[in-house]
Structure 1
Amino acid sequence: MPFTFLTVGFAIVSEIKPVKAASFSVVANGLDNVRGLSFGPDGSLYVTEAGVGGDQLCSASFTFPDQQACVGASGAVTRIKDGKQERVITNLPSWAISPTGGQGIGANDIEFDAAGNPYLLIGLSGDPNSNNTPLNSPNFGELYKVDFNTSALTSIADISSYEFAKDPTVLLPNGYVGSNPYSFTIEGDTAYIANANRNEVLSVKLDGSNLKTLVEFPDQTITTPTQEIKYQAVPTGVAIGPDKALYISQLTGVPIPEGKANIFRVGEDGKATVYADGFTQLTDLTFDSKGNLYALQFANQAFYKGNLDGSLIQIAPDGTRTTLLSGNGLESATALTIGPDGAIYVSSKGDRPGVGQVLRVDNSAKVPEPSSALAVIALGVGVGSFCKRKRCK
């Protein structure tokens, strides 16, 4: 894959001065486990809903093993156009805690190629040799091309079968293959997919050819006074930077060490290096036309502490890091995108049914990060060629 790379420069420490917080408005309400966002060629905003599960194939939830999760065809794609909110694709596979419908996994992300064709990513890969998909719905764990006129989905990549063939031993507590393709981006004729549960990023051509693993993230370690604790990397969002390199956000697995989530850059050698650090539970990232990077924190504290206030953070090309929105209505934040109007659109309350929202954030006003001194790796300029749910365990 082609990359034009920039060489890694020096660390920058930025002093942040207080300014007014960014304003936001709610553009969509009542969504079920809201996830990915993308603007279509007609200017409409398309939103994936992972659904509320159902009453089929109930088993232990791998997020909360003491609770049951069940399968059903309750996922959807919602379109927001001219102020109207409408589900344009329904009956998508969903897996969620029963009977509340929380922690849903299913329709995880949606993107458009340069020609305006839509593609849909459905998570939670299951063993392709078992029947774990609800009747009359697509399969879990695949990337699909979508026809909005007919609601037809055409499989582009069977990620479930690929993962199972590569390593059939990575299983979730309920016996499903351990795989959850969470988000993706498209560059040219290629989709780049962040597989949260397998701790890797894959690529596949949009004609379905050449599905492969690009980079794998090893387990990471934190040291306490009494022990070393390993945790999963859990890649979530994936974006193409101004340098055409891949940038990948990290959630981190249990015990969800706060301040240990990174943004990685995949350079010309195909290896992941840390571009920016010090985050907590990142779920997505994207760049604007000026080279600013936006990172989304699902919650500012480990989710099991009960405070689900999230944050939207901007990292400027010079390394300055600024919080645009923290809490104040943003919680359990799952995805973001930038609209044609330059505003940032964020999925909020993405871990529960019936109350999910999409927020439109005006980034013309900002609020500082809690710490006044923030280190981030900046990029120096170079030339060359080479060439964005979750495993909490």
Structure 2
Amino acid sequence: MLKAYRCTTLQPIHYVAKIFKNGTQERILTGLPSLALPDGTDTAGPHDIKFDASGKPYIAVGYASDPTFRATLGNTDLGKIITANFNTNSWTSVADLANYELANNPDGGDLISNPFSLLIDGNNIVAVDTGANELLSVGTDGSNLKAIATIPRQTLTNPIFPSGASSSPFEIQAVPTNIAKGPDGAYYISQLTGFPFPEGEAKIYRVGADGQPTVYTDGFTQLTDLDFDSQGNLYALQYANQSLWKGNLDGSVIKIARDGTRTTILSGNGLESPTALTIGADNAIYVTNRGDRPGQGQVIKIENSKSVPESTSTFSLLAFLGTVSVTLLHKGKAKRLKISDKFVQEC
């Protein structure tokens, strides 16, 4: 478990950008705090942004370390949820998730906090702390911060490591990554899993009114995001189809229909280490591609997302690829819509 950053720099360089339909962008909030290695990788900073019914923005600012050491960075908003005023380029703190982890540590594991994603549900913010393995809730006014569910760790009975297979059971971190509210009113949580990032072991959890996480569907690898479309289909994003340490960062967009039918919308073919997705009002799928590579991040639009059920046949794969249109909306040094590129803290 990585307890704290070493050889890192505190960098107020992250920002929020508005991307227009023609692919141009405008920075609307700058100077947000972040941590990164000297080469710009392994960053923690603004991870997610959501708007309430009035258009007020809320931003999850990651930390990815032990909250005990945060004071050494001075007065910082790392590890918090903030709300911003784009007109004045300013923000204020709403809730301190890192301090909550320090004071409560709901999962009873190592102290680590990394606010990673959020959604607005009425007058509440529901957030995933991927370091603490927690789903939390807090009022949009900052009141009543509490943990509402703990995403469980799991034990691998036959883990496979870079050096080879081992027969010794091995407990891995849950590493929940993102949250979506389903048509049934429940929360759905994607899971990356911790090292050694076992293939086929990532799950999507459902958290209902009782606060108990149950497995909704499984068999994925390193999930980073999920979202529902207007028909109630759930889309899941795989950061990599193989264990991260293998070096192949081809990812996938996978559709899970309401009846459980699973379909791959896009796999590989330029989709590499994707970190976030959202379903637009036009029902297209927008994906942040290469989200872990400084200066190489992209936002792509997947249109006409007709697809065929999963198949191992070459014919089916070729037929499927012919139904997907992918448009590059942005490529450059700007950060992504959702900056989601810090996972190794759970190794």
The alignment's TM-score, normalised by the length of structure 1, stands at: 0.73
> 2:26 maps to which residue?
86
Residue 167 of structure 1, CA deviation:
3.5
CA separation in 1, counterparts of 2:284 and 2:73? 37
> 2:11 maps to which residue?
72
Equivalent in 96, 100, 118 of residue 162 of structure 1: 100
Residue 328 of structure 1, CA deviation:
1.3
> 1:235 maps to which residue?
176
Contact 2:191 / 2:224 at 8 angstroms: preserved in 1?
yes
> 1:271 maps to which residue?
212
The structure, 1 or 2, with the larger RCO (C-alpha pairs under 8 Å, 6+ apart) is 1
After superposition, the Cα gap between the structure-2 partners of 1:305 and 1:69, relative to the gap in structure 1 and judged at 3 Å, is: farther
Amino acid at match of 1:111: K
Identity of aligned residues (%): 51
Equivalent in 129, 139, 157 of residue 195 of structure 1: 129
> 1:112 maps to which residue?
51
Equivalent in 187, 190, 202 of residue 249 of structure 1: 190
CA separation in 2, counterparts of 1:130 and 1:281? 28
- Residue aligned with 2:217, SS: strand
Residue 303 of structure 1, CA deviation:
1.4
Equivalent in 338, 346, 349 of residue 279 of structure 2: 338
Per-residue CA deviation, residues 257-308 of structure 1 (Å, 9 max, x unaligned), is: 1100000001232111100100000011111110000101111111111111
- Residue aligned with 2:148, SS: strand
After superposition, the Cα gap between the structure-2 partners of 1:288 and 1:254, relative to the gap in structure 1 and judged at 3 Å, is: same
- Residue aligned with 1:68, SS: coil
Per-residue CA deviation, residues 123-180 of structure 1 (Å, 9 max, x unaligned), is: 1165367434477xx5101111111111111111011111111149966xxxxx5110
After superposition, the Cα gap between the structure-2 partners of 1:371 and 1:165, relative to the gap in structure 1 and judged at 3 Å, is: farther
Report the more deviating stretch, 76-85 or 278-287.
76-85
CA separation in 2, counterparts of 1:366 and 1:86? 34
Residue 367 of structure 1, CA deviation:
5.2
After superposition, the Cα gap between the structure-2 partners of 1:338 and 1:251, relative to the gap in structure 1 and judged at 3 Å, is: same
Which structure 2 segments of 5+ residues have no match?
159-165, 314-341
After superposition, the Cα gap between the structure-2 partners of 1:369 and 1:68, relative to the gap in structure 1 and judged at 3 Å, is: farther
CA separation in 2, counterparts of 1:158 and 1:352? 28
Contact 2:179 / 2:189 at 8 angstroms: preserved in 1?
yes
Which structure 1 segments of 5+ residues have no match?
1-60, 172-176, 373-388
Contact 1:258 / 1:302 at 8 angstroms: preserved in 2?
yes
Count the aligned residue pairs: 308
Q: CA RMSD in A?
A: 2.4
Q: Which has the larger share of helix?
A: 2
1:217 aligns with 2:151: yes
Equivalent in 226, 231, 237 of residue 285 of structure 1: 226
| 1:122-201 equivalences in 2 (<5 Å) | 122-124=61-63, 127=67, 130-133=70-73, 138-167=76-105, 178-201=112-135
Amino acid at match of 2:346: C
Contact 1:285 / 1:293 at 8 angstroms: preserved in 2?
yes
Q: Which has the larger share of strand?
A: 1
The alignment's TM-score, normalised by the length of structure 2, stands at: 0.83
Amino acid at match of 1:122: V
Report the more deviating stretch, 83-92 or 306-315.
83-92
Contact 2:48 / 2:60 at 8 angstroms: preserved in 1?
yes
